[in-house]
């Protein structure tokens, strides 16, 4: 390829290709003349011009959904997702030889704050994901793993901002068209039975953390010049790429699907509906 702009164009084509990008209502592939497209393109070009790896950042699981999977530990679903992301990184390297790295942010802090997830379960999932990445030559080259709690700690006013957002959400209410589904989701993610009232509190706390991150520009400050990615529609992280999860057309979040731990990795996993935030 003759120049950096051509390389950047090829990289963004890969990211927004039908193979890697989710296609669903509520999220549209940004047009080349849009601000979102330009922001992502400029970040790619800046990395290429500096001769650095293109960094993708993806919020990952807190731990396996025990209600769906019967365990909090990662299994073949996580392996499938890492394989798919590795394929993406290698595809980028085919047009830009320096390649890409992918930072996975395990979001246990959000799950603990909003859903009451147990710290031992969160720590176990992060530890096993770390071992999974370290055990594979390709994974260890491509992935970096960090915890959301370590990011939040850098912001002294994070929890006061969350409290402020909780008060605002309580006053404004939540979109009635989404509320029932959000409550069902909160109940599905809780460990043990919780009432609708408790689920509503979880929904409010969950959304408040995203709004606080957005106000404090947590993601853009923590990962400057990185391409934000997500497995769900997220209006609070700026310009981003909505990625398929384990294969083309899949929107099942790995920590909410179960593949088992046998020698044969099955590509059909339990479907759990994902919602926009």
Q: Where are the chain's structural domains?
A: 4-149+225-256
User: Can you give the pLDDT at residue 1?
Assistant: 61
Give the per-residue pLDDT at 104.
98
Is CATH 1.10.10 the classification given to domain 4-149+225-256?
no
Per-residue pLDDT at 260: 52
> What is the rounded CA–CA span in Å between residue 114 and residue 223?
24
For 7-50, give the secondary structure using H, E and C: HHHHHHHHHCCCCCECCECCECCCCCCCHHHHHHHHHHHHHHHC
Residue 146 CA to residue 131 CA, distance in Å, equals: 13
Residues with Cβ within 8 Å of 115's Cβ and at least 6 positions away in sequence, in order, are 186, 189, 190, 191, 202, 206
> In degrees rounded to 5, what are phi and psi of residue 60?
-115, -170
* pLDDT digits (tens), the chain, 277 positions: 669 999 999 999 999 999 999 987 678 889 999 999 999 999 999 999 999 999 999 999 899 888 778 888 999 899 999 999 999 999 999 999 999 999 999 999 999 999 889 999 999 999 999 999 999 999 999 999 999 999 999 999 999 999 999 999 999 998 888 888 889 888 887 777 788 899 999 999 999 999 999 999 999 999 999 999 999 888 888 899 999 998 888 888 898 876 554 433 443 444 333 444 4
d(CA 276, CA 179): 11
């Amino acid at each position: 390829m003759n120049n950096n702009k051509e390389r950047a164009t090829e990289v963004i084509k890969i990211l927004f290709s039908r193979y890697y990008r989710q296609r669903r209502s509520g999220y549209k592939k940004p047009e080349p003349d849009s601000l979102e497209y330009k922001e992502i393109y400029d970040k790619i070009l800046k990395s290429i011009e500096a001769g650095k790896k293109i960094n993708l950042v993806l919020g990952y699981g807190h731990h396996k959904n025990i209600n769906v999977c019967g365990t909090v530990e990662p299994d073949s679903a996580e392996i499938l997702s890492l394989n798919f992301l590795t394929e993406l990184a290698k595809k980028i390297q085919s047009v830009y030889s320096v390649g890409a790295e992918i930072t996975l942010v395990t979001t246990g802090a959000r799950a603990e704050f909003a859903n009451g997830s147990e710290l031992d379960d969160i720590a176990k999932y992060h530890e096993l994901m770390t071992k999974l990445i370290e055990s594979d030559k390709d994974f260890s080259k491509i992935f970096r793993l960090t915890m959301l709690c370590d990011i939040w700690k850098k912001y002294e006013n994070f929890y006061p901002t969350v409290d402020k957002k909780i008060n605002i959400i309580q006053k404004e209410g939540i979109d009635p068209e989404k509320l029932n589904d959000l409550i069902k989701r909160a109940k599905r993610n809780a460990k043990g039975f919780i009432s609708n009232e408790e689920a509503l509190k979880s929904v409010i706390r969950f959304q408040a953390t995203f709004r606080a991150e957005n106000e404090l520009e947590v993601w853009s400050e923590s990962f400057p010049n990185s391409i934000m990615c997500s497995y769900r529609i997220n209006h609070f992280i700026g310009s981003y790429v909505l990625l398929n999860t384990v294969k083309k057309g899949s929107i099942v979040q790995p920590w909410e699907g179960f593949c088992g731990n046998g020698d044969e990795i099955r590509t059909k996993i339990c479907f759990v509906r994902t919602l926009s935030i």
